[in-house]
Amino acid sequence: MSFDVNQITLKGRISTDVELQTSKAGKIYVKFSLCTNSSKKNSDGKYDSFPSFHNIMAFGQLAEELAADGRKGKLCFIQGELTYNEDTSQSVKRVWANIMAKEGGIIETTERSKKNSPTNENKVGDKSNPNVEQPPVGNNDDQLPF
């Protein structure tokens, strides 16, 4: 059995704030740009960075989740499919690619998650607070469970 695959996975930084919008049909969606970087070794042996900007669209619950925390500069993961749109309203035919997101989210710590995480005074390994148990120091292989 043969089948086609149209799947794309991106991890990059949001380059425009994500804003929740509603279509004429009443569907909730977001459109934003995601920047990914690739690098290539130049003739000097150093690596040059090449950014690529991708148009992302998401609908429904995923759109709401992305809009809640999607701010410029945040690290984001998107998995979806590649789609093409075209515009022939002017004398020149214009074609562009979009990523229709099916899954994804913000993968960087947000203000909301910081509020739910332990404070510095409760973190193990915080040497500034003597009341917190410190992890063992040293390289004692006899204490390893394996």
Model confidence, pTM: 0.67
CATH class of the domain whose range is 8-86+93-123: mainly beta
pLDDT above 70 as % of the chain: 74
Q: Is the separation of the CB atoms in 13 and 75 below 8 Å?
A: yes
Residue whose entry in the numeric block shows the structure tokens 């994500």: 18
Strand partners, 96: 85
Distance between CA 55 and CA 71 in Å, rounded? Answer: 15
Q: Report domain extents, the chain.
A: 8-86+93-123
* Tens digit of pLDDT at every position of the chain (146 positions): 778 899 999 999 999 989 999 999 999 999 999 999 999 989 999 999 999 999 999 999 999 999 998 999 999 999 999 999 998 888 888 898 999 999 999 987 545 445 444 444 434 444 454 544 444 444 445 544 44
The pLDDT tens digits for 97-132 are 999 999 999 987 545 445 444 444 434 444 454 544
Q: How many CB atoms lie within 10 A of CB 19?
A: 11
